[in-house]
Structure 1
Amino acid sequence: MTDDTIQNRAEAALREAEKVTAVVLPEPKAATEVVALEQADPAVSAEIRKRMEQLDLSNTNSIVNFGSTAQAQLQEISQSMLAGVRNKDTGPAGDSLRQIVTTIRGFSVSELDVRRERSFLEKLLGRAAPMARFAAKFEDVQDQIDNITDDLLKHEHLLLKDIESLDILYDRTLAFYDELALYIAAGEAKLQELDTRTIPAKEAEVQAASEEQGVMKAQELRDIRAARDDLERRVHDLKLTRQVTMQSLPSIRLVQENDKSLVTKINSTLVNTVPLWETQLAQAVTIQRSSEAAGAVKEANDLTNELLTRNAENLRAANRTIREEMERGVFDIEAVKSANENLIATINESLQIADEGKARRARAEEDLQKMEADLKQTLASAKSRSTGLGDTVGGASGAAPV
């Protein structure tokens, strides 16, 4: 939807609203301004007498229904305004009506109310989660603005229809208000007629009646008095109804004024706010894209800096390793020195072991010689014993003779 289309539709709706709001509604008369039959002009007096003729004291329904025909036209316009209206459109009043209906039907529709708080189990299971927010993420912004614009235009059109309907309702309510005044005047005139003429005349008939007709006349008198009391109560109800009707007139006007203000506000929104939305959203898109581009550039720069830093660090570490290896000899002096020390220690250890072996062998040689000498001596002693020289040898050795 283009801006020109929105502008044209908004201007057309504004012209229609100005035409509707230009209607001047008449002011109601005060609730106490009920013109009595004696004080009414001939035209009003004729209307009052016409309504008095609707009363038939012998017919209870005529008293009960007295003044009800005045509400027919008012009820007709009210019913036409309520036709097709859902409970949700009437706010708290609709909620109360719905509660009554559900109570009568025996089940509750609270589970279907999107405004109610979800239970813990529903929150835990993620049940009854609104899908509108999720779906809105994938809709075109311009389509959403067009939908809002169409919705505002629909509301504006409905409000204009409501204003016109309220004009009619106000006129019918005012007519009903004036009509009630005629019925009240007719009822009071009838009551005055009953009190001043009919009932006294009937009382005189009772007094003048014979004993046989006295009971019938007395019953007729009681019926007239009962009908008179019923009519008095009905007139009182009509006065209360007229008072409530008078109170509803400023209420209708207040609703109309609110509707007119809403129509003006909607027009202002269509003409001024919606284009501003589009401008701001366009800026938001540009800002978002700039932010995303800046983020991408930042990430690229961060990556470049990170690569430069890591490459420099890697180069330094690799260069240190290479240069250290280049400056090393074929053999490390520490390794040669350690090998030389180990070699010297090995040679010294070998010489020491050789000297120790030589000494052990020398000691072993002495031991061998001693063992050989001992063995020879032992063998020589054994030979002397076998030739008889052992005793001599034994004596010479200091052994005691046997």
Structure 2
Amino acid sequence: MSTEIQKKAQDALAMVEEVNAVILPEPGEAGAVISLEEADAPVGTEIRKRMDEIDMGDTNSIVSFGSAAQAELQEISQSMLQGVRNKDVGPAGDSLRGIVTTIRGFSVSELDVRRERTWWEKLLGRAAPFAKFTARFEQVQGQIDRITDDLLKHEHTLLKDIKSLDMLYEKTLAFYDELALYIAAGEAKLKELDGSIIPTKEAEVQAAPENDQVMKAQELRDLRAARDDLERRVHDLKLTRQVTMQSLPSIRLVQENDKSLVTKINSTLVNTVPLWETQLAQAVTIQRSAEAAAAVRDANDLTNELLTANARNLRESNKMIREEMERGVFDIEAVKQANADLIGTIEESLQIADEGKARRAKAEEELKKMEAELRDTLASAKARRDGVGDNAGTAVPGA
């Protein structure tokens, strides 16, 4: 809240205290109308003055009897209605609800800078949480400034309404007391009519010559009709007084509500709004501290990770290097395996050679056997040829 608005709120506080200090008079005993006989001299004079306004020969004076008392009250009412004719209903209440909604709409979860943006937020290109929070804070601050200024306007309007209601209440109370005088005057006039004027007129009708009796009788009927009109008018004034009496607490109730609302608005401007702004400022400071702490923590975590990773890598690389340094040109296992493979190869070669030699010896035996069998067969065939003579065998070359 700006300094100017805060100063206006402090200045308005004096006006609030002023209107709250006003004590309005209370109406007299309900329904108490003092008759002319019971009234003291000043009140009796006022009652007779209003009785003089009644002209039994003038119907308008009877119909309008007591209407003058309402003229000033009507002027005040019309003035107030003129001022509120185009005014929105409940703007101050809407402003209070608006400022509460604005503050309640502030989400603490949006302060978390580590919160991952949702898929929908990324799709819409929404700002990161802290950037969104900062923009939200600026918007709230602007709303508070506008609403506080608006509340000040409503406060001044309500203060004027309260003062107008003070005047309306006083004039309504005066009208209520004035009606009592008119009712007393009307009842005194009716009593006078019933007690002396009408009986005297009746006597005049009876005593009048026959030629004048018709006119006198008509005057008596007119007087009685006027008397009945006056009685109805007095009854209407009694009803009006009763309604007026009922409007007095209504005016007080509306006024008390306005006073309560003005007090609430002023308390909101002077106390609540600065407290909200302080809390918001603290929230921003706390968030910035949390962000700085998170950055320091991330840096420390990175340093620890680098130290751990470097130590692990150094150990692994040192092990690899030392193992390679301690190895010979050829690994003994490799040499041993190669030697075993060579021995196996030699043994296999000797075994294959022995098997080949054995197979060759066996083959030679087979060849000799086959050769012997072939010689025997050829010899047998030659012998048979020489003995028979007619069977020619196949000659064997070189035989």
When normalised by structure 2's length, the TM-score is 0.66
Instruction: Provide the rounded CA distance (Å) in 1 between the counterparts of 2:238 and 2:71.
Output: 17
CA contact (8 A) 2:151 2:265 kept: no
Match of 1:173 in 2: 172
- For structure 1, list consecutive stretches of 5 or more residues without a partner in the other structure: 93-113, 115-132, 392-402
Match of 1:318 in 2: 317
1:72 corresponds to which letter in structure 2?
Q
Match of 1:78 in 2: 80
Count of aligned residue pairs for this structure pair: 346
Q: Which moved more, 1:36-45 or 1:217-226?
A: 217-226
Change (3 A) 1:221 1:262: same
Change (3 A) 1:278 1:390: same
Question: How far apart are residue 234 of structure 1 and its match?
Answer: 2.7
TM alignment of 1:12-51, pairs within 5 A:
12-21=11-20, 23-40=22-39, 41-49=43-51
Question: How far apart are residue 225 of structure 1 and its match?
Answer: 9.5
Change (3 A) 1:263 1:165: farther
SS of equivalent residue, structure 1 residue 87: coil
Match of 1:300 in 2: 299
Question: Alignment identity in percent?
Answer: 50
Change (3 A) 1:62 1:164: closer
TM alignment of 1:101-112, pairs within 5 A:
none
TM alignment of 1:361-400, pairs within 5 A:
361-388=360-387
Q: 1:241 aligns with which of 240, 243, 248?
A: 243
SS of equivalent residue, structure 2 residue 165: helix
When normalised by structure 1's length, the TM-score is 0.66
CA contact (8 A) 1:77 1:168 kept: no
Q: Once the two structures are superposed, what CA deviation does each residue of 1:328-384 show, in whole Å capped at 9, x if it has no partner?
A: 111111111111111111111111111111111111111111112222222333333
Instruction: Provide the rounded CA distance (Å) in 2 between the counterparts of 1:385 and 1:206.
Output: 211
Question: How far apart are residue 15 of structure 1 and its match?
Answer: 4.1
Question: How far apart are residue 291 of structure 1 and its match?
Answer: 2.9
Instruction: Provide the rounded CA distance (Å) in 1 between the counterparts of 2:247 and 2:285.
Output: 58
Question: How far apart are residue 32 of structure 1 and its match?
Answer: 1.8
Instruction: Provide the rounded CA distance (Å) in 2 between the counterparts of 1:89 and 1:366.
Output: 133
Instruction: Provide the rounded CA distance (Å) in 2 between the counterparts of 1:156 and 1:330.
Output: 99
TM alignment of 1:144-155, pairs within 5 A:
146-147=145-146, 150-155=149-154
Q: Say whether residues 1:137 and 2:144 are aligned partners.
A: no
Q: Which moved more, 1:44-53 or 1:237-246?
A: 44-53
Instruction: Provide the rounded CA distance (Å) in 2 between the counterparts of 1:80 and 1:54.
Output: 38
Change (3 A) 1:171 1:66: closer
Question: How far apart are residue 233 of structure 1 and its match?
Answer: 5.7
SS of equivalent residue, structure 2 residue 138: coil
1:342 corresponds to which letter in structure 2?
D
- For structure 2, list consecutive stretches of 5 or more residues without a partner in the other structure: 95-100, 102-132, 391-399
Change (3 A) 1:164 1:65: closer
Q: Which moved more, 1:75-84 or 1:322-331?
A: 75-84
CA contact (8 A) 1:55 1:66 kept: no
SS of equivalent residue, structure 1 residue 34: coil
Change (3 A) 1:134 1:68: farther
Question: How far apart are residue 156 of structure 1 and its match?
Answer: 3.7
Instruction: Provide the rounded CA distance (Å) in 2 between the counterparts of 1:53 and 1:266.
Output: 60
Question: How far apart are residue 269 of structure 1 and its match?
Answer: 2.7
Instruction: Provide the rounded CA distance (Å) in 2 between the counterparts of 1:91 and 1:205.
Output: 70
Change (3 A) 1:58 1:138: closer
1:361 corresponds to which letter in structure 2?
R
Instruction: Provide the rounded CA distance (Å) in 1 between the counterparts of 2:385 and 2:170.
Output: 177
2:78 corresponds to which letter in structure 1?
E
Instruction: Provide the rounded CA distance (Å) in 2 between the counterparts of 1:338 and 1:55.
Output: 153
Instruction: Provide the rounded CA distance (Å) in 2 between the counterparts of 1:258 and 1:140.
Output: 26
RMSD, aligned α-carbons = 4.9
1:334 corresponds to which letter in structure 2?
E
Q: Once the two structures are superposed, what CA deviation does each residue of 1:161-189 show, in whole Å capped at 9, x if it has no partner?
A: 23322222222322332233344435545
CA contact (8 A) 2:48 2:185 kept: no
Question: How far apart are residue 320 of structure 1 and its match?
Answer: 0.9
Change (3 A) 1:279 1:89: closer
